[in-house]
Amino acid sequence: EAQVTQNPRYLITVTGKKLTVTCSQNMNHEYMSWYRQDPGLGLRQIYYSMNVEVTDKGDVPEGYKVSRKEKRNFPLILESPSPNQTSLYFCASSPNQRHTEAFFGQGTRLTVV
Amino acid sequence: GDSVTQMEGPVTLSEEAFLTINCTYTATGYPSLFWYVQYPGEGLQLLLKATKADDKGSNKGFEATYRKETTSFHLEKGSVQVSDSAVYFCASQAGTALIFGKGTTLSVSS
């Protein structure tokens, strides 16, 4: 089954404690990206990757890092989380940047206290 | 910059009612347009898409037509069901990103 898998689904952490949210896709897609969803704001792109070792900032990259060492994995790293990073995070993948067949993970609800 | 505006919710309908959720976009050029649906506790699923002017996307009884002259992509369904209750997002493709509207919550009662 074609899917994008994120882990964990839920996470509560404290300010400043480094964390990683994993994302994996099994469709051999080149393009992957991370979004955050906040009430009244919709989804906003954090980072994206066009292919292995190629990553770039989206609209709201501050406080986040990513890496793309393998085609299937695209982890999101918060080196020093802060309460304003409390949000619902989605990983997405698609065959190319035109998003005509974009697949989203089930989301990770992160709370930073 | 590019943006997507969709009608505020929530939208509350009775089963079998007609649904319209308005969506307009601003963009340089002619982006691909999408409607995504998010059921409670789940990720976004692509509902339908249109890649050029006058294209009509359709799926599960939902339809939307890409109107270049009005820069719109309104979502319609002739007869909604309780199972259609969800949050609906209009989106446009802008370069390397999808630009999303803020989402419209639809609640259908029997």
Overall residue count recorded for chain B in this entry: 110
Identify the pLDDT of residue B75.
98
Q: Report the candidate in A11, A21, A6, A10 with the shortest Cα–Cα distance to residue A93.
A: A6
As a whole number, mean pLDDT of residues B17-21 equals 97
Interface subset of B 11-70, CB within 8 angstroms of A: 32, 34, 36, 41-46, 49, 51
- Banded model confidence at residue A45, pLDDT cuts 50, 70, 90: very high
Task: Indicate which of B33, B47, B96 best probes the interface with A, i.e. most A CBs within 10 Å of its own CB.
Answer: B96
Question: Residues near A88 by Cβ (< 8 Å), separated by ≥ 6?
Answer: A36, A37, A38, A107, A108, A109, A110
Chain B hits for A92, CB-CB cut-off 8 Å, are 44, 98
Identify the pLDDT of residue B40.
87
- Banded model confidence at residue A65, pLDDT cuts 50, 70, 90: very high
As a whole number, mean pLDDT of residues B69-88 equals 96
Interface check for B109 against chain A (CB to CB < 8 A): the answer is no
- Banded model confidence at residue A84, pLDDT cuts 50, 70, 90: very high
Identify the pLDDT of residue B73.
97
Chain A hits for B97, CB-CB cut-off 8 Å, are 33, 45, 48, 58-59
Euclidean distance between the first and the last CA atom of chain A, given in angstroms as a whole number: 36
As a whole number, mean pLDDT of residues A32-44 equals 91
Write the CA distances from B56 to A104, B4, B29, B52, B53, integer angstroms.
Answer: 23, 18, 19, 9, 9
Q: How many CA atoms lie within 13 A of A36 on its CB side?
A: 21
Identify the pLDDT of residue A1.
86
Whole-number average pLDDT of chain A: 94
Question: Residues near B56 by Cβ (< 8 Å), separated by ≥ 6?
Answer: B50, B63, B64, B65, B66
A14-31 pLDDT, tens per residue?
Answer: 999 999 999 999 999 999
Say yes or no to pLDDT of A100 above 80.
no
Identify whether the C-beta of residue B1 lies closer than 8 Å to the C-beta of residue B95.
no
Identify the pLDDT of residue A41.
87
Contact A102 B96 (CB under 8 A): no
As a whole number, mean pLDDT of residues B76-100 equals 92
Locus of tokens 């089963």: B15
